[in-house]
Amino acid sequence: MKLASFRKKSPWILHYNAGGCNGCDIEILACLAPKYDIERFGMINTGNPKQSDILLVTGPVTKRSRERLVEIYDQMPEPKVVISCGACASTGGVFRGMYNCEGGIDQFIPVDVYVCGCGTRPEQIIDGVVQALGILEKKTKELEESVRLSKKPVQEGRQLNRRNIADEIKPLVS
């Protein structure tokens, strides 16, 4: 029995609104309500990044929220997956091109599943989460490990040279 098979059985969800109109957030809450009841798959809306597996993001990233978004993503322990929920989280949607928004969360954090719709339906969200669970199960810790992309600075004479210290990106082998 491998531990990885239990990831699928208890995905804990963290929900973050990066400045959307709240339409998608209400649909996410509708998933938790009696009609769709995603708790029967063991999902809990934790609200705590340190204990959750799935990051559900709604909203185009406003300039205020992008640092928080990245920080929340950083605080989640691996393995984790990110679902971008709704048109505006995926591409910017109705907010695209506005002066206070970036378009889409995938400019800042890696996204695994995109769920479409302006006002996504609860069924779509559940489908997206189920697809994300498949990805979550396949993920390994090595795949998620942060890699250092810089070499040590070079001592040249009396100077510490920090130019050309970018490491070449090695392809990740799974």
Query: Per-residue x/- marks for other proteins, 74-93, CB under 8 A?
Result: ---xxx--------------
Q: Which stretch binds other proteins (CB under 8 A): 4-12, 63-71, 97-105, 157-165?
A: 4-12
Q: For other proteins, what does the binding mask look like between residues 14 and 43, x meaning CB under 8 A?
A: --------------------x--x-xxxx-
Which of ligand SF4, other proteins, none sits in contact with 10, Cβ below 5 to 8 A by type?
other proteins
Helix (H, G, I), strand (E, B) or coil at 123: helix
CA distances from 171 to 53, 142, 147, 168, 174 (A): 25, 13, 11, 10, 10
Candidates 118, 143, 149, 172: give the one binding ligand SF4 (CB under 6 A). 118
| Whether the Cβ atoms of residue 79 and residue 53 lie closer than 8 Å to each other | yes
CB of 60 to ligand SF4, least distance (A): 7
Beta-strand runs (E) in the chain: 12-17, 44-45, 54-58, 81-85, 113-115, 154-156, 159-161
